[in-house]
Chain A
Amino acid sequence: MNAPAESGSAAMSLAAAPSSKSWGAQFRRAMRRHPSLFGMPALLIASLALTVLIHPQFSDFDLQSLAMGALPLAFAAAAQTVVVISGGIDLSIGSAMAVANVLAASMMEGRGFGESLALAVLVLTIGAVIGAVNGLLVVLSRVPDVIATLTTGSIWGGVALLILEKPGGGAPQEFLNLGAGTLFTTWLPTALILLAVSVSAIWLPLRRSKLGLQFYAIGSDRIAAFRSGVNVERTRFAAYIFSGLFSAVGGLGLTMTTGIGAPLAGVYYTLSGLAAVVVGGVSLAGGRGGMVGPILAAFVLTLIPTDLIFLNIDPNFGQVIQGVLIVAIVMIGGFVTLARAQK
């Protein structure tokens, strides 16, 4: 993944004309411009190193459980990233994931592998429809994103409970193995492959397309984008569709990694996904950030409770640390901006 493909702001990457500066200066500039692209892998490697340090017998099994734990969160983060880049926010992602999760688990129980795959496509379609409904409501009602999606989140939560009242259902083992197995070696969890394949299949072409550029454009300045001929409402609508699609993949991932459907399991992912987006360096003001940061951040956030267990600390501190991380990161960000402004 090269820097321009995952660049922060669209305008900036357009302006990145070839310069006569030395390679080192260019590298430093790229680092300054896209801190998440360099910071997040470093943070992930550091936290992995820390994990190995406090748990020297880190095995292929630990890697598998990390990948499985991070899979749904990474998709939740991806879903949020699309909307946040285009200047909105989607607080219904967890509930949309729950709907996909319980739909998959209740329909796939006792089916064959082929049928499950067909049903998975159906679930993805329904996910996109959920996103479309969210987008339509946000655009048509003119109610601010936060409130509209907070409300639809409550509605989709009800729908999930309607489909499956209690945790249950299931899916054929071959289907579960798509997200919970390993390929070739036990050190390569299928969850990682699934994540890499589905994100690059959806996001990479999107990022390079006109629509992708429009997401960044309406996110960084809605009025300027409108004056340049971008159909703002249609673009916002499209962003929500992709958010719904990613949420549905996340819901399927949840089915694969847990083996069942749970109507209340999704709640956690709305906020943690947003945490991953913030930690991953996507500006909530819109128009800035890429997909790599939030997804890597999802792995870091998943590692925290694991490390706490290895350290014999109450894993419930994980949520405290997540909250503290968000608060600390945004506060440091605010402090840096303030210090720069006063210079």
Chain B
Amino acid sequence: MTDQAKTGLSRAVPGFAGGRIIARLRTHTIIVLILLLAVFVAGIEAARPGTVTRTWLSNMVLFAAPLGIMAGGQTLVMLTGGIDLSVASVATASAYLMGTHSTLGGVIAVLYGLSVGLSVGLINGVGIALLRVQPLVMTLGTGLMTEGMLVVYSQKVMAEGPHVPQFIEDLGAGKYLGVVPNDLFLWAPIAVLIIFVLRRTGYGRLLYAIGDNSEACHLSGIRVWRVLFVNYVVCGLLAAAAGLVIVGGVDAADLSLADIYLLPSVAAVIIGGTSIFGGRGGYSGTIVGALILTVLNSILTLLDAPEPIRQILYGVIILLLAAAYTRLTG
């Protein structure tokens, strides 16, 4: 209550319902996010009547899924006060490696892809959890490393080239019964699992505790490094999985496949209400954040503006949303 009492609005109009509503919105930001998403969707429908159909809605979920999966790892990492800037490189490398090993059979190809996430996650974990390197520098370095190795590797296998197997294509672009996007069958369990872990398990509580005060956790006998280590490995694996979904949707693995996902993966988490300093937030906000960004992209596509203008508008709107959010909760 003390936080709410501090806000200008509720002080100006004590007892007024509006103040209470705003105070309630401050504590339940997910409602604001869903309202914002609804406004965006309504805006599209108003600007171009007939756009919002069942197909369009299912397409939005289809496009949001890889972003949501990638941002899932990012949420876990940011809850502890970290950040992972290697997710885009990991996703690209995972997709590429899966593509070049597709002749070995589906399962093995997917395992090759996920192994990229596992190994980069392990390196990140060793650096950040054990040696206490700043997450930003560490993941920047491993991202550069992964990207460089991928370029070298791609020239070695030039003759074969990556091939996207049919089932990956189905996963990233197909729809069950023509309505439910197939990648939702991957995203939904991951989402349920993340939310469950964050809300109902000790590990989840530890993530919040570490983000809030890692020193206090250490002093209370928590092995902080173990939690962080697992966290970065999971984040790497989720990024690798997202890469597989992305390549399925695009149907061609190239060396800059997932580059455009780096900014949205961070933005979705921030817009979703997770603090970059850790300790506050959750995955449900990130899901709505990913959906908002996907709808935003769709709006910009509908505007039919040239690519540079779209890029500028996208950046400006993300910054506005992030600023508004920081103001609202700050």
Given A150-B263, A162-B308, A338-B131, also A322-B136 (CB < 8 A): no
Is A142 in the interface zone, CB < 8 Å from B? yes
Contact at A89–B136, with CB atoms within 8 Å?
Answer: yes
Which residues from chain A contact B149 at a C-beta distance below 8 Å? 320
Chain B interface SS verdict (over half)? helix
Which residues from chain B contact A278 at a C-beta distance below 8 Å? 137, 141
Closest A residue by C-beta to B324: A141
Which residues from chain A contact B270 at a C-beta distance below 8 Å? 143, 147
Closest A residue by C-beta to B327: A142
Contact at A330–B144, with CB atoms within 8 Å?
Answer: no
Q: For A161, give its contact among B140, B311, B326 (CB under 8 Å).
A: B311
Which residues from chain B contact A285 at a C-beta distance below 8 Å? 134
Is B107 in the interface zone, CB < 8 Å from A? no
A317 to B145, CA, bound (A): 9
Contact at A319–B147, with CB atoms within 8 Å?
Answer: yes
Question: Counting chain B CB atoms within 10 Å of each CB, which of A147, A317, A321 scores highest?
Answer: A147
Is B314 in the interface zone, CB < 8 Å from A? yes
Interface residues of B in 227-281 (CB under 8 A from A): 262-263, 266-267, 270, 276-277
Contact at B151–A333, with CB atoms within 8 Å?
Answer: no
Closest B residue by C-beta to A89: B136
Contact at B132–A320, with CB atoms within 8 Å?
Answer: no
**10 further interface pairs, Cβ-Cβ under 8 Å (given A141-B322, A155-B311, A331-B131):** A141-B323, A143-B326, A147-B267, A148-B322, A151-B263, A320-B148, A323-B148, A330-B131, A330-B138, A334-B130
Contact at A155–B322, with CB atoms within 8 Å?
Answer: no
Is B319 in the interface zone, CB < 8 Å from A? yes
Contact at A337–B330, with CB atoms within 8 Å?
Answer: no
Which residues from chain A contact B311 at a C-beta distance below 8 Å? 154-155, 157-158, 161
Given A147-B276, A158-B308, A274-B140, also A330-B152 (CB < 8 A): no
Interface residues of A in 288-340 (CB under 8 A from B): 314, 316-327, 330-331, 333-335, 337-338
Which residues from chain B contact A331 at a C-beta distance below 8 Å? 126-127, 131, 133, 138
A275 to B144, CA, bound (A): 9
A160 to B318, CA, bound (A): 19
Closest chain B CB from A261 CB (angstroms): 14
Contact at A316–B266, with CB atoms within 8 Å?
Answer: no
Contact at A271–B323, with CB atoms within 8 Å?
Answer: no
Is A214 in the interface zone, CB < 8 Å from B? no
Count of chain B residues with Cβ under 8 Å from any Cβ of A? 49
Is B155 in the interface zone, CB < 8 Å from A? yes
A140 to B330, CA, bound (A): 13
A338 to B132, CA, bound (A): 8
Which residues from chain B contact A334 at a C-beta distance below 8 Å? 127, 130-133
Contact at B142–A154, with CB atoms within 8 Å?
Answer: no
Chain B residues engaging chain A, CB cutoff 8 angstroms = 83, 123, 126-127, 130-134, 136-138, 140-149, 151-152, 155, 262-263, 266-267, 270, 276-277, 306-312, 314-316, 318-319, 322-323, 326-327, 330
Contact at A144–B318, with CB atoms within 8 Å?
Answer: no
Q: What does the 1/0 interface line of A141-185 toward B look like (CB < 8 Å)?
A: 111101110111011011111100100000000000000000000
Contact at A316–B152, with CB atoms within 8 Å?
Answer: yes
A161 to B310, CA, bound (A): 11
Which residues from chain B contact A274 at a C-beta distance below 8 Å? 137, 140
A319 to B143, CA, bound (A): 10
Count of chain A residues with Cβ under 8 Å from any Cβ of B? 48
Contact at B326–A317, with CB atoms within 8 Å?
Answer: no
Contact at B319–A148, with CB atoms within 8 Å?
Answer: yes
Which residues from chain A contact B306 at a C-beta distance below 8 Å? 162
Chain A residues engaging chain B, CB cutoff 8 angstroms = 89, 137, 140-144, 146-148, 150-152, 154-155, 157-162, 165, 271, 274-275, 278, 284-285, 314, 316-327, 330-331, 333-335, 337-338
What are 7 sample pairs from A and B whose C-beta atoms fall under 8 A apart?
A142-B323, A142-B327, A143-B270, A143-B319, A316-B155, A319-B147, A327-B138
Which residues from chain B contact A323 at a C-beta distance below 8 Å? 141-148
Contact at A151–B137, with CB atoms within 8 Å?
Answer: no
Closest chain B CB from A148 CB (angstroms): 7
A298 to B35, CA, bound (A): 48
Question: Counting chain B CB atoms within 10 Å of each CB, which of A152, A161, A318 scores highest?
Answer: A161
Closest chain B CB from A87 CB (angstroms): 12
A275 to B142, CA, bound (A): 11
Closest chain B CB from A291 CB (angstroms): 19
Closest chain A CB from B128 CB (angstroms): 9
Q: For A314, give its contact among B132, B152, B267, B318 (CB under 8 Å).
A: B152
Question: Counting chain B CB atoms within 10 Å of each CB, which of A320, A322, A323 scores highest?
Answer: A323
A326 to B143, CA, bound (A): 11
A159 to B312, CA, bound (A): 7
Closest chain A CB from B119 CB (angstroms): 13
Which residues from chain B contact A325 at a C-beta distance below 8 Å? 141
Which residues from chain A contact B326 at a C-beta distance below 8 Å? 141-143
Closest A residue by C-beta to B89: A323
Contact at A151–B319, with CB atoms within 8 Å?
Answer: yes
A143 to B329, CA, bound (A): 12
Q: For B137, give its contact among A143, A162, A326, A338 (CB under 8 Å).
A: A326
Contact at A141–B319, with CB atoms within 8 Å?
Answer: yes
